[in-house]
Chain A
C-alpha cells in the first residue's frame, strides 16, 4: 500500500485496512495503540505518525482541508472572528479616513486586480483598466513609471519566423537581448532561447547536442541551431491548460495571462519543443535593468509560480518592430515577418528555400521554420 501518495485518491471505503489504522492513530477509539505496535510495518508506522500529526489533512483535497474539519463551537467562533478581522482590515484601509490616500488606492487596486477576470475574455476597456491599474500600482510601490500597453492583434497579420541553420554561429547575442528585453529572472538565469551545438554529420540529435558550450564559436565541425517557443498554430499547451490562462491570439502568438495562470505546468509537459519556462522563485530584475516598455501579455513583471515563455516580443512585434533576438542576431540568421503578406521576406523564404519544421508529424503546426543556405 502507498500511504504517502502525493495525489488525492477518493476513499469510498473499499480499502479495508485503512479504517482501523486511522482510528488507531487518533488513539481515542477502540483498543489501545500498544496492541498494534508490535505487528506494525514501517509503512504503517509512517502512516500512524502522519495521522497523529496532521490527521485528516493528508486525505483531504482543496477546500475540504479547510472546511471539512470537526471543531467545537468555541474554536469555530475564534476562526470566524479572525477571518472577519482580516476582511474588515482590508475594507477599513480602503474606507478609513486615517489611512493615507496612497495606501487606500493601493488597497483598491489590489482588490480590483484580485477579482478581475481572464484577460482573454476582457473587453478593450477592461484591458485598458487592468493595464492602468498595474502601471499605477508599480508607481505606488516603487515611485517609478512604466509604460504598459494592451495592444490587440492587428488584422491581416500572422507572425512567422525562419531560422537559417547555416548562418547561426552560436554567439548567443540573441539570448542576451531576449533576457534584457523580456525582464527574465536573473536569479534562476531563465532563458527562452536555447542554442544547441550539434556535430556536423549527425543531424538533429538533441540528446547529443551540447547546450552548455563555452568556448570560441563556431567550433570546428559543429553547427548551431536555436529553439524557443514555436507559436504553434495548433498548440498542445493551450489544449491542456485547465484554466485557459494560455491561448492563441489572432496574429498567431501563443500568450499567457500571468494573473490567471495557476502554475500547474501542464502546458510545460504538453509542449513537445521545450518552449515553456516556470518561475520556481520570485523573478528578480535589478531596477536599473528593467525594460519599462511593457505589454500585458509580454514582458511585464511576472510572479512566483507562473509560466512564461517567448511571445515573439509582443510588445515590439505588434508595433512593427522585430523581436529582440532578430534585432540582436549579428549574422542575420533570424527572419521574422507576416505570413499573410505575400511580399514579405518570410514568405519569400518559405516559397524559395527548402524549409522544414521540428516534429511536423505531430500536427502542432509550428510557425517556426528552419532552412539552410
Chain B
C-alpha cells in the first residue's frame, strides 16, 4: 500500500517538474532554437520587392545555389557599344591626330606585373571582356572577372554578406554587383568627410547628463 502511495507521489512530482520547464507555448531556450523551429514551417510572404527597384533594370543570375538579380550594366556605360569608336586596332587609335579618349582612367588595381588593360579587355573584341584564359565575358557579367582573384569576396557576395542589397528584404533578392560600388580601374574607396556630425555629446550636454 505504502509503495503504491510512494509511486503515486513520485509520478506526480515527475509530471509537475516535467511540465514546469516550459512556461508556455512558443518559448525556446535560445533565439537560435526559436529560429530553427519556427523556420521549419516557413511560408513565403506574399510581398515582393520588385516595386521598390523603381527604374533599375535588372538581370537574373544563378551562381552555385544562389539565384538573384543584379543591375543591368551595359545600358549604364555611357560609351557602349565600344566598337562605335574602336573600329580600328588600338595602335592606330593611339596615333596623335585622333581625339584622346579614356584620359580619366587611372589604373590603381594591383600592380603592373599582375594586371594591365588586357587582363580584362580584349583588344580584338572591345565589346566584351575576357577572362585570364581568354574566354569571352559579357559586360553584364563582369563579376566573373573579379571572382577570378577575389574568391572570398565572391563567396560572400553570392551568399549576401558582401555587396549592398537593393529593393527590399523580401524576395526576389536584388544586389549590387561589384562595379556598382567599386570602380574596376581603381577599386578601393577614397576617404571622405562624414555626412554629418555625431551629436551624442551635444545631446547629453543639453541634458546635463555628460559624464
A173–B194 alpha-carbon span in the complex (Å): 7
- Return chain A residues, CB-CB under 8 Å to B201: 211-212
Among A164, A212, A320, chain B packs the most CB atoms within 10 A around the CB of: A320
**Contact pick for B42, options A162, A216, A341, CB 8 Å:** A341
A359–B11 alpha-carbon span in the complex (Å): 40
In the complex, per-residue mask of A319-336: 1 if CB is within 8 Å of any chain B CB, else 0:
111100010011110011
**Closest residue of chain A to B198, judged by CB?**
A212
Q: Is the CB of A322 within 8 A of B168?
A: yes
A344–B141 alpha-carbon span in the complex (Å): 23
In the complex, per-residue mask of B51-75: 1 if CB is within 8 Å of any chain A CB, else 0:
0100000000000000000000000
Q: Is the CB of A332 within 8 A of B152?
A: no
Contact-residue bracket for chain A: 35 or more
- Knowing A172-B194, A349-B160 are in contact, say whether A319-B47 is a contact too (CB < 8 A): yes
Q: Is the CB of B169 within 8 A of A331?
A: no
Q: Is the CB of A317 within 8 A of B198?
A: no
A42–B38 alpha-carbon span in the complex (Å): 65
**Contact pick for A172, options B152, B161, B167, B198, CB 8 Å:** B198
Cβ of A266 within 8 Å of any chain B Cβ, yes or no, is no
- Return chain B residues, CB-CB under 8 Å to A162: 161
Cβ of B165 within 8 Å of any chain A Cβ, yes or no, is yes
A336–B30 alpha-carbon span in the complex (Å): 20
Cβ of B77 within 8 Å of any chain A Cβ, yes or no, is no
A150–B178 alpha-carbon span in the complex (Å): 38
Among B41, B52, B160, chain A packs the most CB atoms within 10 A around the CB of: B160
Q: Is the CB of A217 within 8 A of B192?
A: yes
Cβ of B156 within 8 Å of any chain A Cβ, yes or no, is yes
A203–B77 alpha-carbon span in the complex (Å): 42
Cβ of B170 within 8 Å of any chain A Cβ, yes or no, is yes
- Knowing A156-B45, A211-B201, A212-B198 are in contact, say whether A352-B207 is a contact too (CB < 8 A): no
In the complex, per-residue mask of A361-373: 1 if CB is within 8 Å of any chain B CB, else 0:
0000101000101
- Shortest CB-to-CB span from B153 to chain A, Å, is 8
Q: Is the CB of A342 within 8 A of B39?
A: yes
Cβ of A188 within 8 Å of any chain B Cβ, yes or no, is yes
- Return chain B residues, CB-CB under 8 Å to A347: 39
- Knowing A158-B38, A233-B31, A339-B35 are in contact, say whether A322-B198 is a contact too (CB < 8 A): no
Q: Is the CB of A233 within 8 A of B42?
A: no
* CB-based closest 9 A-B pairs: A345-B160, A332-B164, A320-B47, A320-B170, A348-B159, A189-B199, A172-B194, A365-B31, A320-B168
Q: 30 A–B contact pairs at CB < 8 A?
A: A154-B47, A156-B42, A167-B162, A170-B194, A171-B195, A172-B195, A172-B196, A175-B198, A191-B200, A213-B194, A214-B197, A215-B193, A217-B191, A319-B168, A320-B52, A320-B170, A322-B169, A329-B164, A331-B189, A332-B181, A337-B169, A342-B39, A344-B169, A345-B160, A345-B173, A347-B39, A352-B161, A353-B161, A365-B30, A371-B161
Known: A157-B45, A212-B200. 12 other contacts (CB 8 A): A164-B161, A164-B162, A171-B195, A190-B203, A216-B192, A319-B47, A320-B47, A322-B165, A331-B181, A332-B164, A341-B44, A344-B169
